[in-house]
Amino acid sequence: MPGYKYRITVAPITDRQGQPLDIPALSFDIENHDEILGIVERLRGREDLAFGPEKTAAFAVGLKLFSQVLVEHRKHPVFAPLREPFRAFMQLLKKGSGEAG
């Protein structure tokens, strides 16, 4: 089944000292089985996460990008140590921890 298509862009702004970075942005197109923007909004509304809107967006987008690659390449040996812990992590995330912090 075809997935949702997204264009991901990472545009540099400043370095660690706050100086502007003059390097090109990274942009690529991906497909994901989930509607990522809706997931970001749902996670932003969860009191048990309380990361703040920007960190929650970064968490959700990063997680969905990573998990899609993991699913598509689940038999790759690099993912072997993560299979069970990641499954448990996702179940806990979907369930909600019930604790703010």
* C-alpha to C-alpha distance for 101 and 98, rounded to whole angstroms: 10
- Statement: 4-95 belongs to CATH 3.10.20.850: yes
Q: Where are the domains of the chain?
A: 4-95
Query: Please, which pLDDT band fits residue 16 given cuts at 50, 70 and 90?
Result: very high
Q: What is the mean pLDDT of residues 54-67?
A: 97
Q: What is the mean pLDDT of residues 51-67?
A: 97
Mean pLDDT of 74-98: 92
For 86, how many CA atoms within 13 A lie in the half-sphere containing its CB?
A: 14
pLDDT of residue 101: 43
Cα–Cα distance for residue pair 35/41, rounded to 1 Å: 11
